[in-house]
Structure 1
């Protein structure tokens, strides 16, 4: 799996964990509320700033290899959901809706990158790069 796909999957997973686990941790361990960076909406924004360019780079690069619009569609839908949630947040979706939409967007982004990786790998197995002669 290439580095961009791995990074995007990691960041999407981190976002899901943040959305699902952090509220429970803050309830169980209220002293952690002093770690405002992780409980703040800015954490989502910084993750988004990391995910968007990495995802776009990996998907565009992958598309030039496998020409699969499905990868572009799924990943773009996920990024669109994440951007929408970041812009409108719990003011529009409510707190639970924000978590559900963020998790859905993260799953779509991660799934798109998994498909991207598999399509690139399948193509490279069908058309291996020929070795150059060193003589």
Structure 2
């Protein structure tokens, strides 16, 4: 389970970073290369759906494995809150907050998720396996 958590945290951090890069780079690419606008616009929602397909299970699995190891509920709740915000951004962000609001919420959620996974990973490194507290 420890390997699952460490690998899951690393993958989740990478996916969260990819999400932030996508949100920040897409408008810049559209400004620099407006001819790509149609291609990006058509695949924008698909990118969110594909990334969520990976982010949700990997994130939940890594956070849960970490919680079972270190029993720090705040890390688990912060990560789940970030995942919840990411779901809201993906499914309702554009309709309720507009393009800018959706982007801001997605970046905010991704940073929360990455922070939770960094803390999850660090907690695993700090607490040796033999020092686990099992309830």
Higher helix fraction: Structure 1 or Structure 2? 2
Answer whether contact 2:15 2:55 (CA < 8 A) is retained.
yes
Equivalent runs, 1:1-135 vs 2, <5 Å: 2-33=6-37, 35-36=39-40, 39-124=43-128, 127=131
Whole-Å separation in 2 of the counterparts to 1:52 and 1:64: 18
Q: Which runs of 5+ in 1 are unaligned?
A: 128-135
TM value normalised by structure 2 = 0.87
Deviates more, 1:77-86 or 1:28-37: 28-37
Bigger radius of gyration among the two: 1
Two-structure CA RMSD over aligned residues (Å): 2.0
Q: Which runs of 4+ in 1 moved over 6 A?
A: none
For residues 38-86 of structure 1, give each alpha carbon's deviation from its aligned partner in whole angstroms, at most 9, with x where no partner exists: 8521101110110000001101111111000111111011100000111
Give the total of aligned pairs: 128
